[in-house]
Structure 1
Amino acid sequence: HITLGRVKSESGINNLIKKLENVNFEPRQVSINEILVVKSVLKPSGSEYTTLMTIPLQT
């Protein structure tokens, strides 16, 4: 699980993408079999997570 950013609006998505384009990550070797796009909603009872999209990756 890696959280790359939190977005509250469509313009926030564009801002996140621009910021990520300029980030340099140190190389790491890991196995990833899918990417999930997840929406979280903070409620008094705690966060509620909904998977919006699953992108399977070929191995």
Structure 2
Amino acid sequence: MPVVVIVPLFLASLFLAYTDVLSRPSNNTDAIMLVVIRLVYVLIWVFLGIDLYRYLLPV
């Protein structure tokens, strides 16, 4: 499991989500929905990357 790849992606997604919330203080519900969508998108790509990693490098 490539933890080296997952941790920076997760931290980057949290940073992007945090800055996005800070950039729109007026409309909180839209900001929260955008954060949730972005986190789900990143998680999907992380799981796809794990599957590719296991497929290309079988343990």
Structure 1-normalised TM-score?
0.29
Per residue, is there more strand in 1 or in 2?
1
Structure 2-normalised TM-score?
0.29
